[in-house]
Amino acid sequence: MQLMTSHQRAILLMIIAPTLWSMAGVMTRHLESAQGFEVTFWRSLFSALFVAGALLYRQGLPKTVDTVRKGGGLGVLSGMMWSVMFICFMVALTRTTVANTLIVMSVAPLLTAFLAWLILKEHVAPRTWLAIGAAFAGISWMFVHGMSEVDGQHLTGMMIAGAVPVAAAINLIAIKRAGHGVDLVPSVLLGSVFAAALMLPVAWPLETSLHDIAILATLGFFQLGLPCMLMVKAMKNLTAPEVSLLSLLEVLLGPLWAWLGAGEVPAQETLVGGAVVMAALVFNELAPSRRPQSTALQ
- Does 180 have pLDDT greater than 70? no
DSSP 152: H
DSSP 210: H
Nearest to 284 by CA among 128, 134, 178, 92: 128
Nearest to 244 by CA among 124, 76, 72: 124
pLDDT at 122: 75
Task: Read off the pLDDT band of 182 (50, 70, 90).
Answer: confident
The 10s digit of each residue's pLDDT in 30-44 is 888 777 788 889 999
Nearest to 172 by CA among 246, 249, 69, 282: 246
Task: Read off the pLDDT band of 262 (50, 70, 90).
Answer: low
Distance CA 214, CA 208 (A): 10
Write the DSSP string, 221-257: IIIIIHHHHHHHHHGGGS-HHHHHHHTTHHHHHHHHH
Asked whether the bond before 186 is cis by omega within 30 degrees of 0, the reply is: no
Higher-confidence position of 186 and 157: 186
pLDDT at 50: 95
Question: If you average pLDDT over residues 195-215, what whole number do you get?
Answer: 90
Q: What share of the chain is helix, strand, coil (3-state, %, to 5)?
A: 80, 0, 20
pLDDT at 145: 58
Task: Read off the pLDDT band of 222 (50, 70, 90).
Answer: very high
Question: What torsion, rounded to 10 degrees, do the Cα atoms 72, 73, 77, 79 define?
Answer: 20
Q: Is 148 exposed, middle or buried (0-12, 13-18, 19+ CB in 10 A)?
A: middle
pLDDT at 165: 87
pLDDT at 142: 65
The 10s digit of each residue's pLDDT in 6-15 is 888 888 999 9
Range of lowest pLDDT (29-33, 61-65, 100-104, 212-216): 100-104
Distance CA 155, CA 95 (A): 8
DSSP 150: -
- Does 284 have pLDDT greater than 80? no
Nearest to 106 by CA among 181, 164, 40: 164
